[in-house]
């Protein structure tokens, strides 16, 4: 069974991961109300405590992020261009990174997970609370709005129908998409102890298993023509989605059985795959490898970072990384680092009470904070 809730992934190089739910409140969207300084309230020091530490000084130069959502239980955060999509309870919201253009794009009382690739939404639903099985619903957000005849939900876009499955709704996550398909991972519905990776055809809603994994999958992500993931937190695999059998090329391309690319034995790997390199973020270093899995090198160590706080989940945009801290510092709390492919580091956000689901583009980082809302900051 699944023991790790992964970061979920966005389309191509965007990834999203799971967060936590809490009660709602109504804070102002004009800015972060907890911010009392450049680093969001965590860098103010006691005037009798002497000069700030180097870490506090580094954080003091970081501008407070913009609060773009007040939902305290936001999750499934994705960034498509300059538009942020996220789920809050039974609704999927969208808002621009500057806080404008807010709108509800989907609602369903059965909603469990959501994923938006820009024009299409995939909802994972559990229609019957007594039945754990998931129903998958594809919604075309570019279509004219229509009402559900049952009155159970409103569809701002056009639904392509619902697909019942035998997948467990609570363990099913959508982690990415390409032009033709969504990609999901769930517990093995046939009684196995591992996970299964599926594709869901956007046009036909056909659900196809493309990888059966004997262990737990974390950090799955879609790259052009391939899916990468971590098995049991240490072994990194790739599925070639456009593999053509050289022995019979007339059969066309089909997903290739998973291929192990590399592994690390010394720590948990938080995987991020860029355009030229694959990265493992561990608690004390960022390891970089080429796309064949070879030539490992240490890109950045925690002991030489601007902030002495363990590395956590990582996302890629191009060959640059965004990495959040694994645990919060007593003074500086939670932090988001930007790390270039050269190893150069800068701070994106400091002093955050928590950082749950997050996503990135080449220009912006967005994230959810349990109990507070959704925030954006320039990359």
Q: What CATH number should be reported for the domain holding residue 203?
A: 2.130.10.150
Domain assignment present for residue 154? The answer is yes
Question: 323: closest CA among 307, 85, 303?
Answer: 307
Question: 55: closest CA among 243, 379, 324, 304?
Answer: 304
Question: Does the pLDDT of residue 55 top 90, yes or no?
Answer: no
CB atoms within 10 A of CB 94: 21
Domain assignment present for residue 349? The answer is yes
Domain assignment present for residue 313? The answer is yes
Domain assignment present for residue 224? The answer is yes
**Domain range holding 365?**
54-378
The structure's pTM equals 0.82
Quick one: pLDDT at residue 145? Answer: 57
Q: Which residues of 319-333 are buried (b: 16+ CB within 10 A; e: fewer)?
A: bbbbbbbbebbeebb
Of the listed ranges 54-63, 133-142, 253-262, 353-362, the one predicted with least confidence: 253-262
Mean pLDDT of the chain: 83
Question: Does the pLDDT of residue 78 top 80, yes or no?
Answer: yes
Q: Which two tokens stand for residue 141?
A: 């957000």
Specify the number of domains making up the chain. Answer: 1
Quick one: pLDDT at residue 247? Answer: 65
Domain assignment present for residue 285? The answer is yes
Domain assignment present for residue 72? The answer is yes
Q: How far apart are alpha carbons 245 and 41 in whole angstroms? A: 57
**Consecutive H or E run containing 347:** strand 345-352
Domain assignment present for residue 373? The answer is yes
Question: Does the pLDDT of residue 34 top 70, yes or no?
Answer: no
Question: Does the pLDDT of residue 36 top 60, yes or no?
Answer: no
Domain assignment present for residue 246? The answer is yes
């Amino acid at each position: 069974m699944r023991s790790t809730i992964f970061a979920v992934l966005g389309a191509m190089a965007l990834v999203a991961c799971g967060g936590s739910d809490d009660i709602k409140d109504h804070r102002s969207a004009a800015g972060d109300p907890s911010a009392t300084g450049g680093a969001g309230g965590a860098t103010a020091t006691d005037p009798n405590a002497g000069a700030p530490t180097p870490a506090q000084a580094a954080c003091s130069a970081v501008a407070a992020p913009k609060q773009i959502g007040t939902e305290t239980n936001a999750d499934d955060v994705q960034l498509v261009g300059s538009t942020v999509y996220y789920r809050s309870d039974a609704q999927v919201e969208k808002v621009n990174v500057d806080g404008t253009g807010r709108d509800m794009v989907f609602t369903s009382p059965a909603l469990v997970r959501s994923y938006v690739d820009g024009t299409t939404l995939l909802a994972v639903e559990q229609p019957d609370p007594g039945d754990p099985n998931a129903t998958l619903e594809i919604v075309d957000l570019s279509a004219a709005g229509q009402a559900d005849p049952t009155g159970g939900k409103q569809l701002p876009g056009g639904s392509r129908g619902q697909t019942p499955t035998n997948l467990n709704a609570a363990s099913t996550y959508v982690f990415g998409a390409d032009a033709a398909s969504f990609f999901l991972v769930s517990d093995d519905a046939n009684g196995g102890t591992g996970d299964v990776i599926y594709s869901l055809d956007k046009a036909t809603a056909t659900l196809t298993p493309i990888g059966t994994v004997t262990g737990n999958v974390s950090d799955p992500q879609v790259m052009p023509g391939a899916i990468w993931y971590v098995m049991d937190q240490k072994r990194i695999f790739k599925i070639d989605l456009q593999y053509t059998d050289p022995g019979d090329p007339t059969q066309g391309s089909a997903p290739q059985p998973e291929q192990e690319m590399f592994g690390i034995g010394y720590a948990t790997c938080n995987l991020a795959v860029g355009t030229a390199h694959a990265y493992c973020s561990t608690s004390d270093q960022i390891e970089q490898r080429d796309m064949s899995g070879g030539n490992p090198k240490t890109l950045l160590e925690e002991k030489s970072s601007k902030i002495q706080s363990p590395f956590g989940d990582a996302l890629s945009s191009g060959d640059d990384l965004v990495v959040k801290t694994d645990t919060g510092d007593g003074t500086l709390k939670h932090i988001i680092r930007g790390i270039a492919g050269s190893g150069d580091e800068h701070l994106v956000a400091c002093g955050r009470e928590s950082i749950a689901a997050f996503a990135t583009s080449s220009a912006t980082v967005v994230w959810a904070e349990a109990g507070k809302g959704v925030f954006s900051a320039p990359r």
